[in-house]
Every structure is written in structure tokens, then in C-alpha cells.
Amino acid sequence: MAKRTYQLETLACPSCSAKIGALLKKTKGVNEAEVLYNTSRVKLDFDEEVVTSDELKAKIATLGYQVLSER
């Protein structure tokens, strides 16, 4: 299991964070996904044997949001 926090570009509205969260939560291998609108951060707990960090960042990008950094 891996835990990562991604800093996104500024989210425009709470529904944007809900959209990102919904996409990540239905992604195979993701155990927990929390999108924090006020800080534009995504906290993830996922299985690296099923899905990689790069794949998760690419999924976020499909919604038009850029991951600025990863911790």
C-alpha cells in the first residue's frame, strides 16, 4: 500500500473536487481518496501493484487538472 498527497492547481469550485474524488474512488486499486477543496490537495491510499502514481495523475489530468507536486 502507498499513501500519497498531490498538490493540484487551484480548484475552481467544490463540485470540481467532488468530480475528482468520484473518479479516483472508482479506480481499481484505490482504497481511499480525499480531495480537499480549500487546499487543492488530494490524499490517496492505493495499492501500487494495481495502479501506479503516474496512472492516478493521468486520471486527474483527464478532468483538466494538473498535479503540481507529490508527497
Q: Residue 61, class by beta-carbon neighbours within 10 Å (0-12 exposed, 13-18 middle, 19+ buried)? A: exposed
Torsion of CA 31, 1, 27, 54, to 10 degrees: 140
Q: Which residues of the chain have pLDDT under 70?
A: none
pLDDT at position 57 is 97
- Residue 41, C-beta contacts closer than 8 angstroms, at least 6 positions apart: 5, 6, 7, 8, 35
The H or E element spanning position 31 is strand 30-36
pLDDT at position 14 is 93
pLDDT at position 45 is 98
pLDDT at position 33 is 97
Is CATH 3.30.70.100 correct for 2-70? yes
